[in-house]
Structure formats: structure tokens, C-alpha cells
Chains A and B, each alone.
Chain A
Amino acid sequence: MTTALGPRILTIEDDQATAEEIRTELAGRGFRVDVVADGHLGLDRASNGAYDAITLDRLLPGLDGLSIVKRLRAAGVETPVLMISALSDVDERVRGLRAGGDDYLTKPFASDEMSARLEVLLRRRKSPELALKLRIDDLEIDLIERSVHRNGIELELKATELRLLEYMMRNAGQILTKTMIFEAVWNYHFDPYTNLIEVHMARLRKKIDLPGLAPLIHTKRGSGYIFGARP
């Protein structure tokens, strides 16, 4: 994989407008995108494994998205798959993920949400092992002892805050949208409607980003949050 050229993405999507939107968004972030509109063709292209990630529409002419991801996994192709579908209810999501999809996004989606999810998938592929001790900059978290230290000072975190911090640290440097955070930390897949995530984040921030130290949690205006020494 040549990072200089950017990751290769296969977009299997029959709706032209959506496909173009994905292409524009990803190209803008330096990704190389191939678009395929047919299910069978998509499966062929995906099977040779030359791609770093796939966005896959659920309803396609020829072969539907669920069958494609099932066949890919059966053939041993482990390319991360972001399923995109107009079918939004929980059962559909569960079915998509069970078939082998890595993440599930409902149409219509905000393009930045889509690219944020894709980047998280790409990164997860690079470092799949689950470390039990994480360290970013001067923040250290021990998941066995459930302790957090910043600059050598022990911090008191509640269980939820710890889960939130762990998720952010594991995906440091990535844009994490509120929806992604709610899904990953609370494991619920509905729109929490209010500024719930914001208040949770504000609380975590107050505990982590102590006065005098460089902030680690950064707000990405309009889209979400980034964790790391630099935004």
C-alpha cells in the first residue's frame, strides 16, 4: 500500500448522485475512488483485494449488498466494508453487520460522516490488536486497572467517561462524529436528538484537559471531535 497515493476505495453504488457525492468527498481527502454500479461487477472488483476499503450500497442491481459482503467474507477477503443503505431500522443494521459489514450508514448521510467512518475503518485495519494500555502524548490509560494518568497525575473517571476516553484514544487523530461516538460508546443506534454527546464530552474534557496542559480533545466545527496532541 502506498500511502503517498492515498488509500484505494471501491464504491459499489447504483445511485449516480450518491456515487458522485462519495467520490467528491473522498477525492477531496486524497483517496482514490473507483465507482461500480452493478452488484456482480462490484463483487468481481472487490474480490481481488486491491482495495483498502469498500463502500457498499445495500440495494443494487444484479447482486444485493448483503450477498456481496457474505461472498467476500466467505472467500476470505477481509477488506473493511462500510454498508450504506436507505433501510435504516435496527434489524437491517444488525443483518448488515452480521453478514460481515464493518459499519453501517443510513442514507441520506452527511459526506463528512461517511468519510469519518471510512477513515476509522481504514485505521482499524492497520492496528487491529486491542492494546490494554494506551498512551497518547502525556495521557495514559490502563484498561485493566481502569486508571487514567495525565502528566503523571491520576484522574478520577466514571465508567462511562472511561469508555468514551478509550474509544477516542483508540481512534486518535480521526474525526469522530457524535453519531459514531453514541453508537460506539453507548451501543445504541438512534438519533439522540439533543446535545447529549456534547455534555458528556464537555465533562470528559474538564477532567482530561487540565489547565496549563495542551488540550487533547478538539472540536471539529460542525462535524465532531478529534483526539490527539494536535487537531
Chain B
Amino acid sequence: MSSLLRDHWRTSTFRLAVFFGILFALGNVALLGSIYWQISVYLEHHVDSSIMTMSSNFRDGDSAKTLEEVNDALAYDLRKTNIIGLFAADGTVIAGNMKSLPQTLPIDGEVHLHSYPEFMQYRETRPVPPKYAGVARIAARRLSNGELLVVGRDFTELLEIKAIVLRTLVVSGAVILLLGWATGFALSIRPLRRINAIRETSRRIVRGELSLRIPASERHDELDMLAIIVNLMLDEIERLLTEVKGVTDNLAHDLRTPLTRLRLLLQRAQLQAAPDIPLQRMLDQALTETDSLLGRFRALLRISEIENLQRKAGFSKVDPRDVLLQIADLFEPLAEEKAVTLALQYVATDSIQADAELLFEGLSNLVDNAIKFTPTGGKVTIRLSQSDGVPRIDVIDSGCGIDIEERDQVLQRYYRGNSRRENDGHGLGLSIVAAVMQLHGFSLKFQDCDLGTHITVFCGDIASNSGI
């Protein structure tokens, strides 16, 4: 699941959608913030002007009159939103609904925003949820007789509006972000599916199916444009590879004819020369060298023959056990001659779809190599088992083994058979094995082992472990 999310996150569509989601959320903040600001400015202005009016309405200069007016004003304030307090010069309460004179309130006749629970009793009587501490707009001025007149109005509704705006912001922001995320996810499903198709195609191309091309849709969108470019490149690569392969094949083919004649001449010379002269030994060596050259060219051509074979043509149901029994029978004398133990272990397995002759040829090369590289007294084990739902063939020898770095090289040659190694055997022999296995869709793997070489053939499609 996390990898799926990661895949989606990597698509530009998804990122774009999420980016727009965030952008809309920010716009939302700006919009609601501006509404809040406008409302608060308007309310402030409205409240302040009425406070100023109210404050100036109280008579200055006549203490008894002022006191009476204060009491009247409170009596008529049915909504109980007004704050009025009359204090003596030393700050003691004379009249009004305030408990005490707020210490921090500047006495300058201007309106200030002030929290008021410490001096208000009104709030307790109002049925307002107590979660807001309560603020008020208050103005205080000194009367001519030295008394202090404080007039104000409850302004807690501003906090309420602020809370409403914040709530709206959170909810709508979440919805917008969620929508953006979901849209991005939905929109990136299709590109991802296409990327997966491209990935699958590329994987098969890397495995050697060079004629495949990356699928492009009719929409000619950016992925299609890319696919078309890559396909053009693949065309060119395939053309070049075929050309190179063709040149190699032709060369191998052309060289075989004169080599075959050379061999015949050497052979005739050997028959005509008197026996037991040093020339005979030289001719023998020349023949051996010619045979080795011919063998190498034959193998090269054989590899490209196998690679060019029509896939699955001539495939039939084959019991791998039968093939291995024949191989053991064929190679047993060779192993015996080298004093190498050749063991065949098998259990009943599924049958496989294969070209029996090619499979025999491929596996023969594996066993041949194993015997060739195992010293006298060593052991070669061929093991057939059922693993991961497919038949599995292991060829294990106690020979010199292949270095880990070298394995990579050998494995790379699995894909192209045009390698030439100084050393007989592991080079082209394994390339033939690889070509056969690739034709069958079987996978080859070197296993780690302390001694010798351990190669496994999985006769079927197990989870691929290739790089892409």
C-alpha cells in the first residue's frame, strides 16, 4: 500500500492535483480571513461610535445627576450588553455593573479592547457558552469632579465570529485538500497503468524480445510522445543489433567453409605423411586447433539459430525427468573417465512445455561444463525438484567455481551470444544454455555456494528478479 502511494506521489498529475488543493486551501484562508477582518472592522466601528455617543450622553458636572443617569441607563439596558461604571477618584465603585475599576485601562476617553471577567458580573447572567473569556470595547474618562466614568459594550461576539470563521476554514480546507488528493489519485491511475505497461514491455525487451515496442495510445499526450521517441530509438537499436549480429553470423558462416576445407587438407596430409615422424604431431596439433575453431564458429551460429527460432514453435509437453535421465546416461561415461561422480536426484514434478531437443542440448551444455570444470575425484549432482510451483533443475559441481565478479559477466553474456572467451566451455557453452532458456522463458540463476558452481534452472515463470 505504501509503495502504491509512493508510485502515485511520483506522478506529476498527482502532485499537480495536490498542489492545486493546497493553493485552493490557501485562497480559502485569504477569503475567510478577509471576511473576518472586514466584519471585525465594521463591528468595531459600529460599537465604538455607540459607546462614544453613550458616554457623551452622561451629564458632566452634577454628581447626583450622573449617578441617576447611570442607574437609569442600566435599568433600560434590557439586552444587558452595556457596561457602565461610575467610580470615585480613588477607584472605589459608586454605581454601575462593574465590580472594580480595571487597572490596565487607560483613562483617555478613547475606546479600547479589554478583557473583562475580572471586573464584570454581567457575563454570568448571560446565557453565553463560557468557553470564551469575554472581551469588551471600553472607554474611560475622568469627569470634571474627578470621578471616573467607564462606558463599554460586550464584544465577545467578535470571538464567536472568529471561531465560526476558523471552523469553516478547517472544515472547508480539509474538504478541498481531500478532494485534491482524491482527484490526484484518480487522475494518476491511468498514467500509472500506462507506466506499468511500459515497464513490463521494457522488461521483456531487456530480456531479449527486441521486436517489442512501447504501447502508445491515440491521444498523443506527453506519454505517447515519449513512447514514440523511445520506439524510434528501439527501432534503430534493433536495426543495429541485427546488423551486427548479421555480420557476425555471416563472418562465422563464411569462415566455416574454408576452415572445413583446411581441416580436410590437414587430414589428407596426415594420412599421406609417413607415420611416426615429427610432422605427424604438428599435423595433429593443427587439426586440434582447427577443430576448436570450427567448434567455436558452430557454437556461435548455433546461438543465433536458437535466438532466431520462432518462439514456442515445436513445443510439446516434456517430462524433465526423462530429459535428465537421458543426459545422465549420455554423460555418465565421460564423468567416469574423469573419475567424477555423476549423481542424478529427482522427484516427480509437473511436466513443462518445451522443445525437448533444445532443452536436452541446453542442459547437456550445463552438465558438460560442470564435468569439465570438476577435478578428478569431484562430484557433479543434477537435481530435479518442484519449487515455487515450477520444476527446478539444479546442477551442482565441486569444481573451480566462478568468481562472483565473473558471474556477472557470464550472466551478461546470457543475453548476447557474441562473446568469445579464451577459455573453452564456460563461454559459449553457457551462452547456448542461456539462449535455450530464454527461448523457453525459463530463468537461470547462480546460487551462492562455498565450493564449485551451483546453477539453477527454473522451468517456468517465477517472480522475476531482473533489475527493472
A191 touches B295 (CB 8 A): yes
**Do residues B260 and A110 form an inter-chain contact, with CB atoms below 8 A?**
yes
B299 at interface by CB-CB < 8 Å: yes
* B365 interfacial by beta-carbon distance below 8 Å: yes
> In the bound complex, do residue B260 and residue A194 qualify as a contact, i.e. CB atoms below 8 Å apart?
no
B321-347, CB < 8 A from A: 326, 329-331, 333-334, 336-337
Closest to A161 in B: B333
Residues of A within 8 A of B429 (CB): 193
Interface residue? A126 (CB, 8 A): no
Mark the stretch among A1-9, A50-58, A67-75, A83-91 that contacts chain B. A83-91
Q: Is B44 an interface residue (CB 8 A)?
A: no
**B314 interface residue (CB < 8 Å to A):** yes
Q: Could you tell me the distance between the alpha carbons of A186 and B361 in the complex, rounded to whole angstroms?
A: 12
Taking CB atoms, residues of chain B closer than 8 Å to A193 are 295, 299, 365, 368, 429
Q: Which of B261-282 contact A (CB under 8 A)?
A: 261, 263-264, 267, 270-271
Name the distance in Å between B210's Cβ and chain A's nearest Cβ. Answer: 19
Given A190-B357, A196-B330: A88 in contact with B305 (beta carbons within 8 A):
yes
Q: Which residue of A lies closest to B429 (CB)?
A: A193
Q: Which residues of A contact B299 (CB under 8 A)?
A: 191, 193
Bound state CA distance, A21 and B334, in angstroms? 35
How long is the Cα–Cα vector from A227 to B205 in the complex, in angstroms?
52
| Number of residues on chain B facing chain A (CB within 8 A) | 39
* Residues from chain B with Cβ under 8 Å of A186 in the complex: 326, 330
Q: For A111, what are the chain B residues with a Cβ–Cβ distance below 8 Å? A: 264
Query: What are the residues of chain B within 8 A of A17 when measuring CB–CB?
Result: 257
A221 lies within 8 A of B368 (CB): no
- Which of A110, A192, A222 meets B270, CB within 8 Å? A222
Mask for A81-125, Cβ within 8 A of B = 1, else 0? 000001011110000000000000001111110000000000000
Q: Give the interface size class of chain A.
A: 20 to 34
Contacting pair A199 B334 (CB below 8 A): yes
Contact B357 A189 (CB under 8 A): yes
- Quick one: which of B283-340 are within 8 Å of A by CB? 287, 295, 298-299, 301-302, 305, 309, 313-314, 326, 329-331, 333-334, 336-337
Contacts of A160 in B (CB 8 A): 329-330
Residue of A nearest to B334 (CB): A199
Which residues of the partner chain B approach A200 to less than 8 Å between Cβ atoms? 333
Bound: A62/B225 CA distance, A: 49
Residue on A with the closest CB to B368?
A: A194
A-B contact count (CB 8 A): 76
Residues in A whose Cβ lies below 8 Å from that of B431: none
The answer, yes or no, to whether A202 is at the interface (CB within 8 Å) is: yes
CB of A135 closer than 8 Å to a CB of B: no
Q: Judge if B256 is at the interface, Cβ distance under 8 Å.
A: yes
Q: Flag whether B142 is at the interface (Cβ < 8 A).
A: no
Contacts of A91 in B (CB 8 A): 309, 313-314
Q: From B364, which residue of chain A is reached at the shortest CB distance?
A: A192
Query: Looking across the interface, which residue of chain A has its beta carbon closest to that of B335?
Result: A199
* A204: nearest chain-B partner, CB-CB: B333
Tell me, rounded to whole Å, the shortest Cβ–Cβ distance linking A115 to chain B: 11
A160–B372 CA distance with the chains assembled, in angstroms:
22
Residues of A contacting B: mostly: loop
State A186–B264 Cα separation when bound (angstroms): 26
Q: Are B257 and A222 in contact, with the CB atoms below 8 A?
A: no
- When the two chains form their complex, are residues B260 and A108 in contact, meaning their CB atoms are under 8 A apart? yes
Q: Is B373 an interface residue (CB 8 A)?
A: no
Looking across the interface, which residue of chain B has its beta carbon closest to that of A87?
A: B305
Contacts of A194 in B (CB 8 A): 334, 368, 372
Least CB distance, A113 to chain B, in whole angstroms: 9
Q: A88-B305, A221-B270 are in contact. Are A191 and B298 (CB under 8 A)?
A: yes
Asked whether B87 is an interface residue with its Cβ less than 8 Å from the other chain, the reply is: no
A193 to B432, CA, bound (A): 12
Of all chain A residues, the one with the shortest Cβ separation from B355 is A90
**In whole angstroms, how far apart are the Cα atoms of A72 and B70 in the complex?**
136
> Does chain A have a CB within 8 A of B155?
no
Most buried by B among A112, A191, A193: A193
B414 within 8 A of A: no
Q: Interface 1/0s, chain A 164-179, versus B by CB < 8 A? A: 0000000000000000
Nearest CB in chain B: distance from A16 CB, A? 13
B459 to A: closest C-beta gap in Å: 19
Shortest Cβ distance from residue B444 to the other chain A in the assembled complex, whole angstroms: 19
Write out the residue numbers on chain B whose beta carbons fall within 8 Å of the beta carbon of A86: 253
- Are A199's CB and B333's CB within 8 A? yes
Task: Give B309's nearest chain A residue, CB to CB.
Answer: A89
Known: A89-B309, A91-B313, A191-B302. A196 touches B334 (CB 8 A): yes
Task: Provide the B363-399 mask, 1 if CB < 8 A to any CB of A, else 0.
Answer: 0110010001000000000000000000000000000
Which residues of B sit under 8 angstroms from A222, Cβ to Cβ?
Answer: 267, 270-271, 287
Tell whether, in the assembled complex, residue A203 and residue B333 are in contact, meaning their CB atoms are under 8 Å apart: yes
Q: B314 to chain A: which residues have CB within 8 Å?
A: 90-91
Q: Which of B227-285 contact A (CB under 8 A)?
A: 253, 256-257, 259-261, 263-264, 267, 270-271
Residues in A neighbouring B326, C-beta threshold 8 A:
186
The 4 A-B pairs with the shortest beta carbon distances in the complex, nearest first, are A108-B257, A199-B333, A108-B260, A222-B267
- List 6 additional contacts besides A110-B264, A191-B299; criterion CB under 8 Å: A108-B256, A108-B259, A190-B361, A191-B298, A196-B331, A223-B267
24 intermolecular pairs with C-beta atoms under 8 Å apart: A17-B257, A89-B305, A89-B309, A90-B355, A91-B314, A108-B256, A108-B260, A108-B261, A109-B260, A110-B264, A112-B264, A186-B326, A190-B302, A191-B295, A193-B368, A193-B429, A194-B368, A196-B331, A196-B368, A199-B337, A202-B337, A221-B267, A221-B271, A222-B270
